[in-house]
Every structure is written in C-alpha cells, then in structure tokens.
C-alpha cells in the first residue's frame, strides 16, 4: 500500500497544455508550439517521445521540468502541480552541460550542494561515480572527458538527487553509434535498478523501440500526440528480431518514411 | 652527419633533451659580456673620466654566474632546458647594452644629458638605491590599495549589473557615460575633494580599475550559458547558487580580462598621479630627477618601473593560470 502511494507520486499527467512563443521577426504575432496536448505516464514507466524537428518535444520537456510555464492547461507529478523547476525532476540535455570549472566529482555533487545537503549525503557520491563507471576520473575536468563519459557524468549528476522523474532530451544524440548503443544499455540498467519514471525525447526510432515501454509520436504545428504505441516486447530486446522490425516499419510508415509511399498515405 | 643526428634527435626527444648544450651556446653570454664591456672600455678611454667600476663589476658577475651555470647544467637537466630557452635572449640583451653604450657615450648620437650611457644609469641605480627602494615601496602601497579597492567595487557592481535587469537599466548609462573618461582627467577635481593626495590618488587608481572590471564582469555574468542555469535549476539550485556557483565561475575568464585591463590602467594612473600630486613614489621620483636634470636617475627609475610592473603583471598571470586550470588552451604569459 505504501509503495503504491510512492509509486503513484511519480506519475506524470499532462492535461490540455497550450504553449505559444512570440515570432522573433514579426512583433505581436506568436506561433502555437503546443495546442492542447494531453497524455500521462505511469509511475516507473519509460516512455519515448518521437517526431520531426520543431514539433514541440523539447518544449514539452522544458514545461515538465518547470523551466517554462504553459499558457494554459495542467501539469502534475503525482498530485502536485508543477510551478517551477525542482530537484524532483531531473533533466539531461543532448549537450552534457557539465560545469567546466568543476571536476567530475564536484559536478556530480552539484545537486547536493545546491540543496544544501552535501554534508549528510557526501557518502552517496562515490556510489554514483561507480554506478556510471567514472571513479578513476573523479578529479578530471570535463574538457578531458569523451562525449560518452561526459554524458554519464550528466546522468549521475541528475540521479544523485533521486528524482521522481528523469527527463532526457536526446541525451545520446551526439554520440557515435557504438557508444550510443552501449549507453542505451546503461540507461536501461539504471532505469531497471531504480524504476525512475523516464521520459525520453529522441530522433532515433530504433532507440525508442529498444528502450521504451511506450512510444508517443508527435506531429508539428501545433504539436500534439498523434499516436501512442505500446512496445510489448520483453527485455533485453533484439534489434534484429521480426517483431522489433515490425514496430519499426509501422512507425516509419506512420511518419511517411516507408518505402511504399502510397501505402503510407493510404492509412 | 649532423643532419642525420638531428633527424634522430627529432624522433627521440628524450635523448635530445639529455644531450649537452652546444659550446657556442654555453659561451654566448660570457663572450657577449666581454664584447660589451670591451666596447665600453674603448669608449671610456676617449671620453671624460667615467666611473666604470660598478659597470665592470656587473660584467664580472655576469661572466662568473654564466660560467658556474654552464658547469652546473651538465648535471641538472632542468637548468639546461631553461638555459637553452633563455640564453639567446640574455645574449641579445647584453649586446644591446653595448649598442646603447656606443650610441650614447661613444658616438654621442643622442643629445646629452638626456640620454646617458648604461654605466651612468647603473651608477645612479646603485648610488640612489635606498631612495629608489623607498619610492618603489610607496608606489607599491598606493598601487595595491587603489587596485584592490577598484577590483572589489568593480566586481560587486559588475555582478549586480550583469545579473539584475533593474540594476542594468540604471547602472549601465552611468557606466557608459562615466567609464570612458580617463581617470587621470579627474585629477584637478580629485586633488581638491580629498584631504590627502595619497587618498585621492588611490581613489583615482580605483576609478581607473573599476571601469574595465565592471564592464567585463557584467558582460561575463550576463553571457552565462542559459543551459548551465537551467541545469542548475533542475538540480534544485536557488538564486544564491545560481549567482555564486554558476554565473560567477562562468564569468571568471572574462573577469580576468577585466583585471588585466584594469592593471594596465592602474599603472598609468599611478605614474601620472605621482608625478603631479603625490610627493613620493616612482612617478614622483622621475619628475624630481628630471627637475635636477639627472637623467641617469630617470632611466634608473624607468628600469625599476619595468621590473616592478612586469612582476605584478606576471603574478596576475600566475594567479589566472591557477584559477583557470579547468580551461583548456589559455595563453601563457
């Protein structure tokens, strides 16, 4: 019963969200980025958000992070309304955005310092460095790290606050193909250990199918959830299995990128 | 044969580093000293009696030290590396003394007494050392008090203007109007307003430092990458963390540029303030010596200034290198 309450507290609900931005060149006009978007994510679920550039994926993530506020609509984590950024909702960008003036250890500690709990929780830092395999680089500065290592530090930095929800904005987008696949497994391992609710924005359909419980496909102008696909495959998933490829061609078809264009237009 | 050795050395830097210094390199400094001093003796013979004793001692010391170092470097690779780097410069500097000697005391190409020879300058430097040391001390105290005050006020106002848009609205016009006025232009007013010339000079130096430090700090703070601030906010950061642990560290490279610009401005203001108002310090010493037409002393003070200012500048560079270890590819001084 208690666990159920805790679990429900990390569910995300997005209800009829509208958000528009002023058009830079034309004063007084604005562009609708999100027009009444609604969805929900169950506690502990890993959901991917895919769609073409400019369809409002990142806007949605920033709204859930609390970095921007919607024009109308409700955003809730558990039963609490989102009114601003909080350590309960971690955010990892495509650029790791490590603080270059801090060592790896101090970057990971940053969340504890920011919340003023470093003294009590300092003993957790080492565990997080081990979790992402960077103990040997504790005193290195970010400019010494490779892209994959830097992104692992960014993940550890976001996780040290034990966020209820982890928002990932194309976190693996800048990595090479091999590092990327390894990091997908790593993120999955973190998720399976901690069961943090995760919302992953990605451009990579394979990545979305490989990792998520559910894929939401967004369409632009204004952005809204067009399709919601449950990926009912057991983990670990095989990227070359027939069922995997069936999901893949289904989504490509929906996005009008399938080989047979007429068939795609027909559906 | 030598070309082959050079190629092999290029492929084996470790052995190249261990190899001995060439004889020509080892002998460059003593030989240059002998040449320069020999020139001086020739000049001194035909000119009216010059006091050459201290000049001679200088060269004996240089020759002695360079011979000791030439022997020591055989057993001390770090010294050898340093010598290999520095010896050409030293040799050139010593030969330049000789050229100076020839142009001034030798051929009288430059009018006397405005351009004395190096021996005369060295004699002034030695004879007046207590006075020069005292003047340097006064300059140092004045410089540091003015600079420190300017940096502190500049950092505070820079952070305020860079962070708060209200502060920027009210502060920026003030900065834009008052900042570009050279601090030395305020001298007539500063001398009247303040009870002591020392205080008013410190204030002027502070003003000269304040402008670039404020300007660069403010632009560094307001150009903090928005994503650093976003990340910090999702980590639970409050306003104090955002200012002191994100915006200020991010602005430090810019702040140092402001500190360097301020330091240059402070040297200028110091010397001008000392030569027109304050009754002590190197700037005052220069104008005082000029009044007595003792140009040897003027040059002696200029040499002290060069050493003094470049030491202060070097210390600031060292501080920057230490603070900015996290930055890659910074320019070395």
Cβ distance B325 to A141 less than 8 Å, yes or no, reads yes
Is B328 part of any domain?
no
Is B124 part of any domain?
no
Shortest CA gap B184–chain A (Å): 37
Looking at the fold, whether B76 and B151 belong to one and the same domain comes out as no
Residue keyed to tokens 């044969």: B1
* Total domains in the fold of chain B: 2
The SS3 of residue A257 is coil
Shortest CA gap A65–chain B (Å): 7
Q: Which residues pair with A214 in a beta bridge?
A: A47, A230
B180 contact A CB<8A: no
CA-nearest residue to B322 within chain A is A101
Q: Please name which of B199, B182, B178 lies closest in space to residue B277, comparing C-alpha atoms.
A: B199
Sign of CA dihedral B95, B101, B104, B107: negative
Strand residue runs (E) in A180-254: 197-201, 214-219, 224-230
Check whether the bond before B300 is cis (ω within 30° of 0). Answer: no
* Residue B229 with chain A: CB contacts under 8 Å: none
Whether residue A15 has pLDDT greater than 70: yes
Cβ distance A67 to B227 less than 8 Å, yes or no, reads no
What is the reported pLDDT for B302?
94
Last residue of a domain, one of B58, B77, B111: B111
Looking at the fold, whether B49 and B134 belong to one and the same domain comes out as no
The answer to whether the beta carbons of residues B274 and B268 sit under 8 Å apart is: no
The SS3 of residue B40 is helix
Sign of CA dihedral B103, B106, B112, B114: positive
Is B182 part of any domain?
yes
Question: In the β-sheet with A214-219, what is the strand arrangement from edge to edge?
Answer: A89-92, A165-169, A197-201, A46-50, A214-219, A224-230
The SS3 of residue B201 is helix
Among partner residues B234, B245, B246, which is closest to A91 by beta-carbon distance? B234
Kindly give the confidence (pLDDT) of every residue in chain B, 333 residues in length, as a single tens digit, with 9 standing for 90 and above: 444 444 444 444 444 455 677 888 888 888 898 888 888 888 877 666 556 788 888 888 999 999 999 889 888 888 988 998 899 999 999 999 999 988 988 888 888 788 888 888 898 899 999 999 999 999 999 999 999 999 999 999 999 999 999 999 999 999 999 888 999 898 888 888 877 888 889 999 999 999 999 999 999 999 999 999 999 999 988 899 999 999 999 999 999 999 999 999 999 999 999 988 888 899 999 999 998 888 999 999 999 999 999 999 999 999 998 899 888 755 554
Looking at the fold, whether B237 and B195 belong to one and the same domain comes out as yes
Q: Which two tokens stand for residue B114?
A: 């405005």
B74 contact A CB<8A: no
Q: Please name which of B5, B55, B2, B64 lies closest in space to residue B29, comparing C-alpha atoms.
A: B64
| Antiparallel, parallel or unpaired: β A89-92 and A80-81 | unpaired
What is the reported pLDDT for B51?
65
The SS3 of residue A25 is coil
The answer to whether the beta carbons of residues A131 and A156 sit under 8 Å apart is: yes
The SS3 of residue A11 is coil
| Antiparallel, parallel or unpaired: β A165-169 and A89-92 | parallel
Is B330 part of any domain?
no
Residue A15 φ/ψ, nearest 5 degrees: -125, 115
Looking at the fold, whether B253 and B138 belong to one and the same domain comes out as yes
The answer to whether the beta carbons of residues A213 and A231 sit under 8 Å apart is: yes
CA-nearest residue to A97 within chain B is B228
Is B333 part of any domain?
no
What residue numbers bound the domain in which B34 lies?
Answer: 2-111
The answer to whether the beta carbons of residues A147 and A98 sit under 8 Å apart is: no
Looking at the fold, whether B311 and B178 belong to one and the same domain comes out as yes
Looking at the fold, whether B288 and B185 belong to one and the same domain comes out as yes
Last residue of a domain, one of B83, B111, B139: B111
B249 contact A CB<8A: yes
Looking at the fold, whether B95 and B156 belong to one and the same domain comes out as no
Q: What is the DSSP string of B165-199?
A: HHHHHHHHHHHHHHTTS-GGGGHHHHHHHSSSHHH
Q: How many residues does chain B have?
A: 333
Region of residue B236 (left: phi > 0; alpha: psi -120 to 50; beta: else): left
Q: Which residues pair with A30 in a beta bridge?
A: A22
Whether residue A226 has pLDDT greater than 90: no
Looking at the fold, whether B184 and B65 belong to one and the same domain comes out as no
Burial bucket for residue B312 (CB in 10 Å: 0-12, 13-18, 19+) = middle
ipTM of the predicted structure?
A: 0.85
Is B39 part of any domain?
yes
Residue A47 φ/ψ, nearest 5 degrees: -120, 135
At A135-188, the pLDDT tens digits run: 888 888 998 888 888 988 998 898 888 888 889 988 887 778 887 888 888 888
Looking at the fold, whether B280 and B311 belong to one and the same domain comes out as yes
In the predicted model, what is the mean pLDDT of chain A?
81
Shortest CA gap A85–chain B (Å): 5
Shortest CA gap A88–chain B (Å): 8
Whole-number Å distance between alpha carbons of B152 and B156 = 6
Cβ distance B227 to A114 less than 8 Å, yes or no, reads no
Whole-number Å distance between alpha carbons of B219 and B163 = 9
Whether residue A95 has pLDDT greater than 70: yes
Looking at the fold, whether B47 and B6 belong to one and the same domain comes out as yes
CATH number for the domain spanning B136: value is 1.10.3720.10
Q: What is the DSSP string of A133-168?
A: T-GGGTT--GGGS-HHHHHHHHHHHHHTT--SEEEE
A86 contact B CB<8A: yes
A173: Cβ–Cβ under 8 A, 6 or more apart, which residues? A94, A202, A203, A204
pTM of the model as a whole: 0.83
The answer to whether the beta carbons of residues A135 and A214 sit under 8 Å apart is: no
Last residue of a domain, one of B77, B111, B145: B111
How close are the terminal C-alpha atoms of chain A, in Å? Answer: 44
Looking at the fold, whether B187 and B43 belong to one and the same domain comes out as no
B321 contact A CB<8A: no
What is the reported pLDDT for A190?
81
> In A183-200, which positions are buried (b, 16+ CB within 10 angstroms) versus exposed (e)?
bbebbbebbeeeebbbbb
Looking at the fold, whether B137 and B270 belong to one and the same domain comes out as yes
Query: Helix crossing, B129-163 with B248-276: angle to 10°?
Result: 140
Q: Which residues pair with A219 in a beta bridge?
A: A224
What are the residue ranges of helices labelled H in chain B? 2-11, 13-18, 23-46, 53-72, 77-101, 118-127, 129-163, 165-178, 187-193, 197-222, 226-234, 239-241, 248-276, 282-291, 295-323
Is B94 part of any domain?
yes
What is the reported pLDDT for B48?
60
Give me the domains of chain A, ranges plus CATH numbers. Answer: 44-70+79-231 (3.40.50.300)
B226 contact A CB<8A: no
Question: Chain A to chain B, count of Cβ pairs less than 8 Å apart?
Answer: 71
Whole-number Å distance between alpha carbons of A146 and A160 = 21
Is B232 part of any domain?
yes
């Amino acid at each position: 019963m208690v666990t159920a309450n805790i679990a429900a507290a990390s569910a995300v609900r997005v209800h009829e969200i509208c958000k528009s931005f002023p058009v830079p060149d034309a004063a007084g006009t604005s562009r609708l980025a999100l027009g009444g978007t609604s969805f929900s994510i169950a506690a502990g679920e890993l959901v991917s958000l895919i769609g073409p550039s400019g369809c409002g994926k990142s806007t949605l993530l920033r709204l859930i992070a609390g970095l921007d506020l919607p024009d109308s609509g409700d955003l809730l984590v558990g039963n609490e309304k989102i009114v601003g950024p909080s350590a309960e909702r971690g955010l990892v960008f495509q650029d790791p955005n490590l603080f270059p003036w801090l060592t790896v250890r101090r970057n990971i500690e940053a969340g504890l310092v920011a919340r003023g709990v470093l003294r009590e929780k300092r003993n957790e830092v080492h565990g997080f460095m081990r979790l992402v395999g960077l103990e040997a680089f504790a005193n290195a500065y970010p400019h010494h790290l490779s892209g994959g290592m830097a992104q692992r530090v960014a993940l550890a930095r976001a996780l040290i606050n034990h966020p209820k929800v982890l928002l990932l904005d194309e976190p693996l987008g800048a990595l090479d193909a091999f590092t990327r696949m390894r990091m997908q497994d790593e993120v999955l391992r973190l998720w399976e250990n901690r069961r943090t609710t995760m919302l992953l924005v990605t451009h990579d359909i394979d990545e979305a199918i490989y990792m998520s419980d559910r894929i939401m496909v967004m369409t632009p102008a204004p952005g809204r959830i067009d399709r919601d696909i449950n990926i009912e495959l057991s983990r670990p998933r095989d990227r070359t299995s027939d069922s995997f490829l069936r999901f893949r061609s289904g989504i490509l078809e929906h996005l009008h990128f399938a080989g047979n264009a007429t068939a795609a237009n027909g559906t | 044969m030598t070309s082959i050795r050079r190629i092999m050395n290029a492929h084996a830097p470790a052995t190249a580093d261990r190899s001995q210094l060439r004889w020509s390199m080892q002998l460059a400094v003593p030989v240059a000293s002998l040449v320069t001093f020999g020139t001086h003796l020739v000049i001194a013979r035909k000119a009216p009696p010059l006091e050459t004793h201290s000049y001679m001692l200088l060269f004996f010391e240089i020759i002695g030290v360079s011979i000791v170092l030439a022997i020591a470097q055989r057993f001390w690779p770090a010294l050898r590396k340093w010598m290999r780097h520095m010896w050409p410069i030293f040799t050139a500097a010593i030969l330049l003394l000789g050229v100076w000697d020839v142009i001034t005391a030798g051929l009288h190409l430059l009018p006397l007494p405005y351009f004395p020879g190096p021996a005369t300058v060295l004699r002034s430097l030695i004879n007046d050392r207590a006075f020069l040391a005292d003047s340097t001390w006064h300059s140092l105290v004045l410089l540091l008090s003015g600079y420190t005050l300017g940096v502190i006020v500049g950092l505070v106002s820079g952070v305020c203007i860079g962070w708060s848009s209200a502060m920027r609205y009210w502060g920026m016009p003030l900065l834009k109007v008052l900042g570009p006025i050279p601090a030395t232009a305020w001298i007539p007013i500063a001398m009247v307003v303040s009870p002591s010339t020392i205080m008013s000079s410190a204030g002027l130096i502070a003003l000269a430092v304040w402008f670039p430090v404020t300007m660069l700090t403010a632009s560094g703070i307001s150009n903090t990458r928005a994503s650093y601030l976003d990340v910090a906010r999702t980590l639970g950061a409050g306003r104090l963390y955002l200012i002191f642990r994100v915006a200020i560290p991010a602005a430090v490279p810019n702040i140092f540029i402001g500190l360097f610009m301020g330091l240059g401005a402070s040297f200028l203001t110091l010397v001008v303030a000392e030569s027109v108002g304050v009754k002590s310090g190197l700037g005052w010493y220069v104008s005082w010596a000029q009044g007595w037409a003792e140009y040897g002393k003027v040059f002696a003070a200029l040499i002290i200034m060069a050493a003094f200012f470049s030491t202060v500048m070097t210390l600031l560079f060292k501080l920057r290198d230490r603070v900015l270890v996290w930055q890659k590819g910074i320019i070395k001084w």
